[in-house]
Each structure stands twice: as C-alpha cells, then as structure tokens.
C-alpha cells in the first residue's frame, strides 16, 4: 500500500469507495441516535424506556387483561356467581364450568371474574390512596422538618399503633359493612408506612448539594420537595405500592372471613380463597383454590413488574 499517497487532497479526488454492509450499519446507528435526540420531551423518553423493558410490558399486558376480564365479567361468565346449584357441588373443571364449582355449586370461573372487581378496587385503590397521602405528607414534612415533621410523625404513630381490628370494628359499627369501609381502613392504617419511607428518603436527600443549591436560589420548599427531590425517592415508593397492593388483597380476605369486610356472599378473591380453607378441599378439589391463587399471584406479579418498569424508566442513569 506504499503507493497510496498520504495526502488528504487525493482522497477527495479518488472515486468514492463502494458502500459495504458496515456503512449501512453505521448509518442505522446514526439514525437511531438522531431519533433519540429528537425525543427531547420527557414523556416520550419515559414511555419509550418503559416499553423497551420487556418484563414491564408483560406486566402491563397481564394487568390490563385481568382488569378488562373483570370489568367484562357479565359478558364472559355464563353463570351467576352467587346462585348455588345443588346438583353440581364440587364439580371438577369441565366445558360447562371452566374452573369447576365450589361446595355450594357456584361457578368458580364466574366468581373469580366478579371477585376481581372488588379485590382489585380494594387492593390497588387502597394502595394508591395511602401512597398518595403518605407521599404528599412525607415528602414535604421530611424536607422542611421542624414542628410540622414532629406533628406528622406523631399522627402516623397513632395510626400505626392502632390495632387494625379495632379500627375495623369501630367503622363497621358506625358505617356498617361495606367495600368503602375496607378502603378507608386500609388507607388509614397503611399510609403511615409509605409516609415514613418517603420521609426517610427525603431526610437523606435533603443534605445533597443540589438541594442546597436550589435553596441558595431561594426556591420555595414545596417546589424543591415535590419537583426536585421526589423523583429521586420514587424507586422505593413504587416497590412499596406494589407490595401493599398484594398485602391489601390478602387482608381483605382475612377481614371478610371474620365477617367484617365484604359480605361472604359477595365474591372476592379473598372470599373464594377462604372458602377453600379445608383440608379435604385442599387435597381433593384443587380447582377451588388453584385458579384463584394463580390469579392473585399473577396480578400481584404484574403490579410488581409494572412498578419495577416505572422505577427504571424514571431513573435516567439506566439507558433506554
């Protein structure tokens, strides 16, 4: 190659070299980079990162299907979830009863579908509501500290030290048995945990120098706390929401079993599972507990995946 002159001018005059596969590859990379620079909007970047996370998308699909199926229960289920059928008690799964029937001959498939409505509302609703309260209070009081923080802390301690069962009895005595009660109770007893976690995160972020810098500009505490600090505390909050969703779904079952939650006749995932608490059923009639259990697990898992995906999508140091 010694006869090739090392002169940049010659290179310009020489005919263009044929394009190779490498070139095409580089072009594609450059296009992609340009495209990513185009998505300057935070929302666009956030969404594309979330959708690039395979588990999160799987979670979203499962989550959406379970909710849609529950909402469309009257269209899908061919049986009434509440009416017993004494001629078909504990039937195994068949073409007629997809998930079999329970001890009083009610169609389990229909019960799981209808049950999802209540359970998801209670579980997800209470988790989101308590997260909302806990985060709104914890983020602000953790940042500003002082007497406000002291008062919020004492209040949360009061709520957390109340035995849940007493609160439940109290509310049931006053308002009667209802679904709303459950959400109120779970929110009242549940917000303290998220509040404390959000507060603790804020206490550690508060000393970071970027927060000091914002203060040195005289920005208001609400703006610093909610806009600039909260995004950095989101990870553990997401995880907490997914965990408490699962916990609330199971707790609903416990309270309903005691006759304090939703009436036993109303199908909920918890009620269905409770009905299977019998050694004979566990051993001989797997269809009474397995489909519900699997549905609950799937749902909780999907919420988990979504939470993880959201957390990763909000973390800019993870490439999307």
Partner 1 sequence: MQPSEPILRLRDVHVHFPIKGGVFKRTKDHVRAVDGVDLDVYKGEVLGLVGESGCGKTTLGKAILQLVRATGGSVTYHGDAGETELTTLDDAGLFPFRKRLQIVFQDPHSSLNPAYTIFGSLEDPLRHYGVRSRAERRKIVGDLLEAVNMRREAMDRYPHEFSGGQRQRIGIARALSIEPELIVCDEAVSALDVSIQAQVLQLLMDLKREKQLTYVFITHDLSVTEYLCDRIAVMYLGRIVELCDAEELFANTLHPYTEALLSAIPVADLDRKSERIVLEGDVPSPVNPPSGCPFHPRCRYAQDVCRTDVPALRPYRTAAGGEHLAACHLIDQPPAD
Minimal distance in Å, beta carbon 148 to partner 1? 15
Instruction: Say whether residue 55 binds partner 1 (CB under 8 A).
Output: no
Is 300 a binding residue for partner 1 by CB under 8 A? The answer is no
**232-251: which residues touch partner 1 (CB under 8 A)?**
232
82 binds partner 1 (CB under 8 A): no
Residue 316 CB, shortest distance to partner 1, in Å, is: 4
User: Per-residue contact track with partner 1, 212 to 231, x per CB under 8 A?
Assistant: xxxxxxxx---x---xx--x
CB of 232 to partner 1, least distance (A): 5
Please identify, using beta-carbon distances, which residue of 236 and 293 lies nearer to partner 1: 236
3-state secondary structure the chain: CCCCCCCHHHHHHCCCCCCCHHHHHHHHHHHHHHHHHHCCCHHHHHHHHHHHCHHHHHHHHHHHHHHHHHHCHHHHCCCCCCCCCCCCCCCCCCCCCCCCECCCCCEHHHHHHHHHHHHHHHHHHHHHHHHHHHHHHHHHHHHHCHHHHHHHHHHHHHHHHCCHHHHHHHHHHHHCCCHHHHHHHHHHHHHHHHHHHHHHHHHHHCCCHHHHHHHHCCCCHHHHHHHHHHHHHHHHHHHHHHHHHHHHHHHHHHHHHCCCCCCCCCCCHHHHHHHCCCHHHHHHCHHHHHHHHHHHHHHHHHHHHHHHHHHHHHCCCCCC
**147 binding partner 1? (CB under 8 A):** no
Q: Does 20 bind partner 1 (CB under 8 A)?
A: no
Backbone angles phi, psi at 107, to 5 degrees: -70, 120
Q: Any contact of residue 96 with partner 1 (CB under 8 A)?
A: no
Least gap, CB of 210 to partner 1 (angstroms): 5
Of residues 21-50, those binding partner 1 (CB under 8 A): 37, 40, 42
Least Cβ distance, residue 135 to partner 1 (angstroms): 15
Nearest distance from residue 123's CB to partner 1, in Å?
29
User: Which of 18, 43, 209, 280 contacts partner 1 by CB under 8 A?
Assistant: 209
Q: Considering only residues 208, 258, 282, 294, which one is a binding residue for partner 1 as defined by CB under 8 A?
A: 208
Match 């929110």 to its residue by tokens: 187
CB of 161 or CB of 317, closer to partner 1: 317
Closer residue to partner 1 (CB): 80 or 315: 315
User: Does 13 help bind partner 1 (rule: CB under 8 A)?
Assistant: no
Whether the CA torsion 263, 264, 269, 273 is positive or negative: it is positive
Residue nearer to partner 1 on the CB measure, 26 or 210 = 210
Binding site for partner 1 (CB under 8 A): 37, 40, 42, 208-210, 212-219, 223, 227-228, 231-232, 314-317
């Amino acid at each position: 190659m010694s006869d090739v002159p090392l002169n940049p001018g010659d290179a310009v005059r020489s005919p263009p070299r044929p394009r190779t596969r490498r070139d095409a590859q580089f072009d594609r990379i450059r296009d992609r980079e340009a495209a990513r620079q185009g998505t300057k909007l935070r929302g666009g970047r956030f969404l594309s990162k979330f959708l690039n996370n395979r588990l999160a998308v799987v979670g979203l699909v499962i989550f959406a299907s379970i909710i849609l199926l529950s909402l469309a229960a009257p269209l899908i289920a061919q049986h009434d979830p509440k009416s017993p059928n004494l001629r078909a008690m504990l039937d195994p799964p068949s073409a007629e009863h997809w998930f079999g029937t329970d001890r009083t001959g009610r169609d389990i498939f229909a019960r799981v579908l209808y049950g999802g409505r209540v359970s998801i509302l209670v579980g997800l609703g209470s988790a989101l509501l308590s997260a909302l309260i806990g985060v709104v209070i914890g983020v602000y009081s953790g940042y500003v500290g002082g007497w406000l923080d002291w008062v919020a802390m004492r209040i949360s301690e009061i709520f957390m030290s109340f035995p849940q069962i007493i609160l439940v009895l109290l509310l049931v005595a006053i308002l009667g048995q209802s679904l709303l009660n459950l959400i109120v109770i779970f929110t009242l007893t549940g917000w303290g945990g998220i509040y404390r976690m959000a507060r603790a995160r804020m206490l550690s972020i508060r000393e970071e120098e970027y927060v000091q810098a914002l203060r040195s500009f005289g920005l208001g505490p609400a703006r610093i706390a909610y806009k600039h600090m909260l995004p950095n505390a989101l990870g553990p909050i997401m995880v907490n929401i997914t965990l408490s969703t699962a916990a609330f779904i199971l707790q609903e079952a416990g309270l309903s079993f005691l006759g304090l939650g939703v009436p036993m006749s109303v199908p909920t995932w918890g009620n269905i599972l409770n009905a299977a608490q019998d050694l004979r059923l566990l051993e001989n009639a797997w269809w009474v507990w397995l489909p519900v259990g699997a549905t609950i697990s799937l749902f909780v898992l999907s919420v988990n995946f979504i939470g993880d995906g959201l957390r990763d999508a909000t973390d800019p140091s993870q490439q999307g």
